[in-house]
Amino acid sequence: MNLRDQLASFKNFLSPLAPALPVVMGYLPIGFAYGVLAAAAGMDVFTATLMSLIVFAGSSQLMAVGLISQGLNPWAIIIATFIINLRHLLMSASLSPFLQKWKNREVMAFCAELTDETFGVHSLRFERGELNTSHALGINLICHLAWIAGSLAGVLAGGRIADVRPLGLDYALPAMFIALLILQIRGKTYAGVALAAGGLSMLFWIAGQTQWNVILAAVICAAIAAGVETWRKRPC
């Protein structure tokens, strides 16, 4: 391999880094927070890291360590995890048209690391026609490694909690969602769907549906827009 080929393959190897970077910046501090809470709940390095390795779902992991510290029974924790993470059904379905040519094992690996954040990144890239399988898997892997590294650092730090607030790191993920959402708005209908889903999600939250607000709002608002679109395009 000559130097130019080597440089090209090195560049190809690094290309998932840039799209993964905003997620990494958010995952390190939140993973860290999870690790600190896991240590406080009495989990050791192995179990706390194992959860980040095989569950890899931030909000449900934070919820679980809370319930574990209260000594709640395993079924309650597993059922709560299931409900919190059901929203991934929608994300998996929404990315499915782009995975047609993938091998089964690639889909299995990809879906294992499908989080709110990686979903946002992939849905944007796939829409733009960036369909490279190894880049997509590379992005997921980097994000997952950041999550595991953050968790591990958090458990090891244990009681010596460093405050991430002065750096504004707690705002990394909200800011990323703002960008992901704005980049998704490709016309008036999309803007309408986003406004309606955000508002409905808040209404459900205020009404006490703090677990179901996201799924319900997204399903309803996307269905209304799809209904209107299909009706307009109907053969007359």
Partner 1 sequence: MAQTTLLITILGMALVTYLPRLLPAWFLRARSLPPFLAAWLRYIPAAILSALLLPTLLVENGQLNLSGQNLYLWAALPSALVAWKRKSLFLTVLTGMAVVALIRLLAPGS
* Interaction residues for partner 1, span 149-208 (CB under 8 A): 165-185, 189-190, 193-202, 205-206
Q: What are phi and psi of 115, to 5 degrees?
A: -115, 175
Q: Return the ∠ at Cα 121 (arms to 227 and 100), rounded to 5°.
A: 65
Tokens (6 digits) for 73: 């029974």
Compose the 9-28 pattern: x for residues touching partner 1 by CB under 8 A, - for all others: ---------xx-xx--xx--
Q: In the range 26-65, which residues lie near partner 1 by CB under 8 A?
A: 26, 42-43, 47, 50-51, 54-57, 60, 64
Report, in Å, the least distance between residue 168 CB and partner 1: 4
Nearer to partner 1, 36 or 214 (CB): 214
139 belongs to the binding site for partner 1 (CB under 8 A): no
In the complex with partner 1, which residue's Cβ is closer, 80 or 157? 80
Residue pointed to by tokens 């409900």: 83
Identified binder of partner 1 from the candidate list 3, 5, 100, 129, rule CB under 8 A? 100
Measured from the CB atom, is 12 or 189 closer to partner 1? Answer: 189
DSSP the chain: --HHHHHHHHHHHHTTHHHHHHHHHHHHHHHHHHHHHHHHTT--HHHHHHHHHHT--HHHHHHHHHHHHTT--HHHHHHHHHHHHTTHHHHHHHHGGGGTTS-HHHHHHHHHT--HHHHHHHHHHHHTT---HHHHHHHHHHHHHHHHHHHHHHHHHTTSPPP-GGGTGGGHHHHHHHHHHHHH--SHHHHHHHHHHHHHHHHHHHTT-TTTHHHHHHHHHHHHHHHHHHHHT---
Binding mask 64-93 for partner 1 (x = CB under 8 A): x---x--x--x--xxx-xx--xxxxxxxxx
Q: Report if residue 214 touches partner 1, rule: CB under 8 A.
A: yes
Which among 70, 63, 118 is positioned nearest to 92, based on CA atoms?
118
Q: How many residues bind partner 1 (CB under 8 A)?
A: 101
- Out of 30, 39, 95, 149, the only residue in the binding site for partner 1 (CB under 8 A) is 95
129: contact with partner 1 by CB under 8 A: no
Interface residue with partner 1 among 45, 62, 111, 156 (CB under 8 A) is: 111
In angstroms, give the least distance from the CB of 227 to partner 1.
7
**14 or 78: whose CB is closer to partner 1?**
78
**Shortest approach of partner 1 to residue 12 CB, angstroms?**
20
